[in-house]
Amino acid sequence: MKLKPEDIRLIREKYASVSAIRSGEGTRGKNIDLLVCAGTGCVSNHSLKVKAALIAEIEKHKLQDRIKVVTTGCNGFCANGPIVVVKPEDIFYQLLKPEDIPHLVEEHFLEGRPVERLMYRPGEGKPIPKMASIPFFGKQQLIALSNRGTVDPEKIEEYIALGGYQALAKALTEMSAEQVIEEIKASGLRGRGGAGFPTGKKWEFCRNARVVEDGDSAFAKYIICNADEGDPGAFMDRSIVESDPHALLEGMLIGAYAIGATHGFIYIRAEYPLALERLTQALEQAREYGLLGERILGSDFSFDITVSKGAGAFVCGEETSLIGSLEGKLPEPRVRPPYPAQYGYMGKPTNINNVETWANVPHIIIRGAEWFSAIGTDTSKGTKVFSLVGKVNNTGLVEVPMGITMREIVFDIGGGIPGGKRFKAVQTGGPSGGCIPESLLDTPVDYESLVQAGSIMGSGGMIVMDEDNCMVEVARYFISFTQQESCGKCTPCREGTWHMLNILEDITAGRGREGDIELLEKMGRQIKETALCGLGNTAPNPVLTTIRYFRDEYEAHIRDGRCPARVCKALITYSIDPVNCTGCTACAKNCPVACISGERKQTHVIDQDRCIKCGMCYSVCNFDAVRVE
Amino acid sequence: MATMTIDGKNLEFEEKLTILEAAKRLQIKIPTLCYNEHLAPYGGCRICLVEAASRSAPNRSRLVPACTAPAEDGMVVTTGSQRVLESRRFVIELLLSRCPESQVILELAREMGVEPDGQNLDVVGHYLLHRAPRREVTNCILCGLCVRVCQQIPERYALSFKDRGITRKVTPPFERVAESCIGCGSCAYVCPTKTITIEEAD
């Protein structure tokens, strides 16, 4: 069935109960939706078994007419999965196992007593029944992720019921292409892939680009969605595609209409099988409804999308490398100018945005530029999705208004550092970003402030580190990543990052020399200045920021041969404190190289020559007798 | 008619030009390694970096590779500023550290004032030329001229890059003599460091 604009409204009306229940307004009836999270995190913790148990139990009690089990995409609270949310009540159950389900169904749905034991509980506090009252969700503001956890990503009707494809209908029937671009420009939306280029301006460049006729290609202009999310610890784009694939498609459709593109590509990592599956399904459904293909919604606008799988090269996140890869060439960045807006895929004007940027577009068209630009700071509008990982209690995916402070993200939403440890730094922007220390925790999160602090917004990875992290080792880890992922085209990135890695390896191995800090600083600055693409231009950032904020740790390694965080193996020794040692033999039994000697009930001793510093003795000792220095 | 300035000299031009081509017209020499006028520009070696400011932002100059950057009306280019010279020195030191036996690289380094045994090396140059670990000896600077000439002139695709980053190297497909190789010798001809040699087959 090919839809007309009015059909969008009719589908919405037909499925009105869906939006009523999910939004929490539908308390009139007795119908309940159980939203089972089926994001990658919850699925790997067996949420699909939980779902099967729910269905079986509901059928057992013959409740299936009243209670519907729905699978949704990622809720973001991945640390506490599997998650089930009861709508319209908004009761949040977490860490569910299939064996919890019979009790849960009986108590909650037959007896009307929600089960406290399965609810979220902050530290020692009381359980919090409602999802919206949990601090992790409370400070978030959802735009790109507005349907997360409430829409079944495999049903286009649900997306439409919750307001989807309305923006497309509005753009095609009420707005000219220029008006769409003006709206996006006025909204202040900037690229969410990291560089923060104004999206509306980018679209305008591409729209105004002259097409050079060469007869080679049927298509004049292209748009691309960059879903090649390669930062370690980042999963924003995966989550959007998994939980709300139609939001991405709708954003791309509006962009294609505004730019005048007839074909689009989604370049997505092959390592995201679930996202790929849902995306492919969404494309098929959109085609069935005539939302992709010829004469969309009865207009003159025709557009379709091809999905292309990446092969795991980090550099393909760089837009010109991505275009090369799409063309079947080596993924190598090209020198800009010319920009893709003039000379992109197959030499045609091409516009690339990342998943999150596209997903913001329908909301701006429906709710207006003014609404969007009221959120955020002077120069950074709207919200940003971050994946909050590392040494933080509530790991997961969060969407927050621009301008929120790092402290609010780490301590209010993230719930602080586990085990009462002390916060040390947060790495933003992935391996191309930098470490922000405690003294800058009140920095507002926006494009400019992060650059000023020596980091970047990046695509939104946020790795929290505590006192147990050695900042020299952190810098070594990130540069080893970029060094490995450097494509090797330009000299500074290929050779320079390798040299920086060698110097850092020397320092962490206790072979650092006086002057190495200045050497790293100068080399890092020169690589940033001379490298060809964004990968090389940012690769030294983790090193430069850790030197800027944690210089004393570098000095301790080099001058005193000491690793203050007791991480770098070459610089630490394990020994047994004779006062605390009870001679329980646990350490000796567990030592993999059998270098600990001592009789039962006698003080044990580590043979330093044979010790491999694995830390096993330290972790098995129950009497705090193993010392690390 | 567009005008631009390179090192204080004015140039009027009408057609599409790169900064390198424009400099040539003014007889200003810019060093190159991965450039060949018969091939599509590459911008990889970074030895031809110059400082360029556009008319719209005259106070914000950027380092750009002269071989690929298009000349623009009102552009002001500097080829010998301290920023340019330091950047080029860094690049040539990296290459010399990679290819210490290449006479071509050594000579170019000397032209830029880099004396491997001299006293004027900074902390980075000293590290790169005296302390840095050495890899397998090669004269290949990975400029890609051989790969590109084979693709663009005889269109044989008999050479390609393998691996990435520091492990990257140039090789025929599957590291065997390519069936598509016609022995034209273009690759050896364009190689700036004369790393490729031609062998007579039986």
Q: Are residues A457 and A496 in the same domain?
A: no
Q: Are residues A450 and A487 in the same domain?
A: no
Band of pLDDT at residue B123, cut at 50, 70 and 90: very high
Q: Is the pLDDT of residue A27 over 90?
A: no
Q: What is the DSSP string of A293-360?
A: BSSGGGSS--BEEEEEEE-S-GGGGSHHHHHHHHTTS------SSSPTTTS-GGGS-EEEEEHHHHHH
Q: Is the pLDDT of residue A535 over 60?
A: yes
The pLDDT of residue B144 is 97
Report, as an integer, the average pLDDT of A567-572: 93
Q: Which of A29-33, A77-81, A152-156, B137-141 has the lowest mean pLDDT?
A: A29-33
The pLDDT of residue A220 is 86
Q: Is the pLDDT of residue A143 over 60?
A: yes
Q: Are residues A127 and A244 in the same domain?
A: no
Domain, as residue range, for A580: 573-628
Q: Are residues A393 and A366 in the same domain?
A: no
B160: chain A residues, CB-CB within 8 Å: 330
Q: Is the pLDDT of residue A214 over 70?
A: no
CATH number of the domain encompassing residue A96? 3.40.30.10
User: Residue type at A292?
Assistant: L
A491 and B97 within 8 Å at the Cβ level: the answer is: no
A179 domain-assigned: no
The beta-carbon neighbor of B165 closest among A483, A502, A529 is: A483
Q: How far apart are the first and last CA of chain A?
A: 71
Name the closest residue on chain A to residue B142, using Cα atoms: A489
A337: chain B residues, CB-CB within 8 Å: 69-70
Report, as an integer, the average pLDDT of A198-227: 84
More confident residue, B118 or A15: A15
A313 and B65 within 8 Å at the Cβ level: the answer is: no
User: Residue type at B147?
Assistant: V
Q: Is the pLDDT of residue B181 over 80?
A: yes
The pLDDT of residue A221 is 94
Q: Are A255 and A221 in contact (CB under 8 A)?
A: no
CATH number of the domain encompassing residue A594? 3.30.70.20
Query: At CB < 8 Å, which residues of chain B contact A?
Result: 41-47, 49, 63-65, 68-70, 83, 86-87, 90-91, 94-95, 97-98, 122-124, 127-128, 132-133, 141-142, 144, 160-161, 163-168
Q: Is the pLDDT of residue A123 over 80?
A: no
| Cα dihedral sign, B175-B181-B185-B186 | negative
B166: chain A residues, CB-CB within 8 Å: 483, 486, 488, 494-495, 498
A612 domain-assigned: yes
A499 and B132 within 8 Å at the Cβ level: the answer is: yes
CATH number of the domain encompassing residue A458? 3.10.20.600
B94 and A486 within 8 Å at the Cβ level: the answer is: no
Last-in-domain residue among A119, A138, A157: A138
Last-in-domain residue among A466, A498, A517: A466
Report, as an integer, the average pLDDT of A381-398: 94
Q: Are residues A314 and A342 in the same domain?
A: yes
Band of pLDDT at residue A226, cut at 50, 70 and 90: very high
A491 and B86 within 8 Å at the Cβ level: the answer is: no
Q: What is the pLDDT of residues A432-463, one digit of tens each?
A: 899 999 999 999 999 999 999 988 888 889 99
Which of A495, A504, A521, A535 best probes binding to B when mutated, by most B CB atoms within 10 angstroms? A495
- CA B21 from chain centre, in angstroms, equals 15
Name the closest residue on chain A to residue B84, using Cα atoms: A530
A526: chain B residues, CB-CB within 8 Å: 86-87, 90, 124
Q: Are residues A391 and A433 in the same domain?
A: yes
Q: Are residues A363 and A278 in the same domain?
A: yes
> Which one, of A100, A253, A80, lies nearest residue A166 by Cα?
A253
Q: Is the pLDDT of residue A314 over 60?
A: yes
Question: Treating both helix axes as pointing N-terminal to C-terminal, what angle do A516-530 and A541-559 enclose, rounded to 10 degrees?
Answer: 170
Q: Is the pLDDT of residue A216 over 60?
A: no
The pLDDT of residue A473 is 97
Which of A513, A530, A537, A543 best probes binding to B when mutated, by most B CB atoms within 10 angstroms? A530
Q: Any idea of the CA torsion for A519, A520, A523, A529, to the nearest 10 degrees?
A: -140
Q: How far apart are the first and last CA of chain B?
A: 58
Q: What is the DSSP letter of B24?
A: H
Pairing relationship of beta strands A626-628 and A574-576 according to DSSP bridges:
antiparallel
> Which one, of A246, A186, A248, lies nearest residue A385 by Cα?
A248
Most confidently modeled range among A75-84, A514-523, B173-182: A514-523
Q: Is the pLDDT of residue A219 over 70?
A: no
The percent of residues in chain B predicted with pLDDT above 90, rounded, is 91
Last-in-domain residue among A409, A435, A466: A466
B64: chain A residues, CB-CB within 8 Å: 335
Report, as an integer, the average pLDDT of A70-80: 91
Q: Are residues A246 and A362 in the same domain?
A: yes
The beta-carbon neighbor of B168 closest among A338, A494, A526 is: A494
Name the closest residue on chain A to residue B160, using Cα atoms: A330
Band of pLDDT at residue A215, cut at 50, 70 and 90: low
Q: Is the pLDDT of residue A609 over 70?
A: yes
Report, as an integer, the average pLDDT of A162-167: 96
Band of pLDDT at residue A125, cut at 50, 70 and 90: confident
Q: What is the pLDDT of residues A458-487, one digit of tens each?
A: 888 999 999 999 999 999 999 999 999 999
A392 domain-assigned: yes
Q: Is the pLDDT of residue A25 over 80?
A: no
A499 and B165 within 8 Å at the Cβ level: the answer is: no
Report, as an integer, the average pLDDT of A176-201: 95
The beta-carbon neighbor of A491 closest among B46, B133, B161 is: B46
How far apart are alpha carbons A74 and A569 in whole angstroms? Answer: 38
Q: Are residues A338 and A392 in the same domain?
A: no
Report, as an integer, the average pLDDT of B89-109: 97
Q: Are residues A105 and A223 in the same domain?
A: no
A144 domain-assigned: no
What is the ipTM for the molecules in this complex?
0.97
- CA A420 from chain centre, in angstroms, equals 26
Q: Are residues A454 and A522 in the same domain?
A: no
A499 and B98 within 8 Å at the Cβ level: the answer is: no
B45 and A335 within 8 Å at the Cβ level: the answer is: no
A166 domain-assigned: no
Q: What's the number of domains chain A is made of?
A: 5
Q: Is the pLDDT of residue B38 over 70?
A: yes
Q: What pTM does this model have? A: 0.93
Query: At CB < 8 Å, which residues of chain A contact B?
Result: 313, 315, 330, 334-335, 337-338, 483-492, 494-499, 502-503, 515, 518-519, 522-523, 526, 529-532
> Which one, of A51, A57, A55, lies nearest residue A39 by Cα?
A51
Q: Is the pLDDT of residue B168 over 90?
A: yes
Report, as an integer, the average pLDDT of B24-44: 96
A184 domain-assigned: no
The pLDDT of residue A311 is 84
The pLDDT of residue B67 is 97
A490 and B45 within 8 Å at the Cβ level: the answer is: yes
The percent of residues in chain A predicted with pLDDT above 70, rounded, is 98
The pLDDT of residue B195 is 95
CATH number of the domain encompassing residue A524? 1.20.1440.230
Sequence-ordered list of residues with C-beta below 8 angstroms from that of B176, at least 6 positions apart, any chain = none
The pLDDT of residue A28 is 58
Band of pLDDT at residue A26, cut at 50, 70 and 90: low
The pLDDT of residue B92 is 98
Report, as an integer, the average pLDDT of A13-30: 80
A163 domain-assigned: no
Q: Are residues A210 and A313 in the same domain?
A: yes
The H-or-E segment that residue B83 falls in is: helix B82-98
The H-or-E segment that residue A87 falls in is: strand A84-87
Q: Mean pLDDT in chain A? A: 93
A172 domain-assigned: no
Report, as an integer, the average pLDDT of A125-133: 92
Chains A and B form CB pairs within 8 A to the count of 105
Q: Is the pLDDT of residue B198 over 90?
A: no
Name the closest residue on chain B to residue A494, using Cα atoms: B165
